[in-house]
Amino acid sequence: MVELFVSDMMSKASDHRAHVLVLQEKEGLRKIIVALGMLEAQAIAFALRKVDIGRPLTHDLFGSLTRAFDIELQHVIIDRIDDGTFYSVLYYTRGDENAYVDSRTSDAIAIALRAGAPIFIHENLLNRMCIRDEQNGAISIPITAADENTLRIAMENAVKEENYELAMKLKEEIDSRHHRSTTDLENTKEYE
C-alpha cells in the first residue's frame, strides 16, 4: 500500500463546475487524478482549509455520528477503478470490531481529511493509473483512467491523424471493458 496526500485541486478550464483532485504519494512523485463534481470539491476544499461554516455539512455530520458511537476511521483505501471511476473503502474500528464501508472516492477523501485518517492506494493500481508530467505543463493520463466516451473520441482523433497504433490500443481498452462487463454479468447470474 502507498500513502497519498492531496497535492492540488483544480477546476477544468472548459467547465468550472467540474474539478479534478490530484493525489500524490507521500514518499515519491507518482500522482493520480480523481474527477470531482462542484459539491464534492467544495467539501474537500473546506476540509483542507479547515473552514467552519457554523452548521455541519454531510461529511461533518458523518464524522460526528461515528464519534458519538465510538467508531474510529482507521484509513481509506482507493482499491479499484472501473470505466475511469475510482472506488474506495473506509476502514473503521469500534473496540475490537472492524468494519469496512464502500464509498465514492470523493466522499472517502472528504471524510478522511476531516478525521485526520490516512489515504492509501494499492501499489499496482497507482502504477497503472499514475499521471506523467509532459512538456509545457501538460500531463498525460493512462488510457485505463479515461471513461469510454473519452476513449472513443480519442480513437476517432487517432484514426483521423492516421495514428493507427494508438487507435488500436484505444479500441483494445474499450473492447476489454465490454468483455469485463459481460463476464461480470455472467458471474452475477451464477449466484441468482
pLDDT reported for residue 135: 52
Range scoring the smallest mean pLDDT among 10-14, 65-69, 105-109? 10-14
**At 153, is the pLDDT very low, low, confident or very high (cuts 50, 70, 90)?**
confident
Residue numbers of the domain that contains 162: 146-190
Q: Answer yes or no: do 95 and 180 share one domain.
A: no
**Inside any domain, residue 78:** yes
Separation CA 55–CA 134 (nearest Å): 43
**Inside any domain, residue 185:** yes
Last residue of a domain, one of 104, 132, 160: 132
Q: Answer yes or no: do 46 and 103 share one domain.
A: yes
User: Given phi > 0 = left and psi -120 to 50 = alpha, else beta, which region is 67?
Assistant: alpha
pLDDT reported for residue 67: 94
Last residue of a domain, one of 106, 132, 158: 132
- Count of all residues that appear for the chain in the document: 192
Q: Which residues pair with 33 in a beta bridge?
A: 22
pLDDT reported for residue 191: 34
Note whether 21 and 9 are within 8 A (CB): yes
**At 18, is the pLDDT very low, low, confident or very high (cuts 50, 70, 90)?**
confident
Separation CA 132–CA 138 (nearest Å): 9
Q: How many domains would you assign to the chain?
A: 2
Cα distances from 98 to residues 1, 9, 92, 133, 182, in angstroms, run 19, 32, 6, 39, 33
Note whether 75 and 118 are within 8 A (CB): yes
Range scoring the smallest mean pLDDT among 23-27, 30-34, 43-47, 106-110? 30-34
Separation CA 64–CA 62 (nearest Å): 5
Separation CA 77–CA 1 (nearest Å): 8
Range scoring the smallest mean pLDDT among 2-6, 51-55, 168-172? 168-172
pLDDT in tens, 50-95: 998 889 889 999 999 999 999 999 999 999 988 778 999 999 999 9
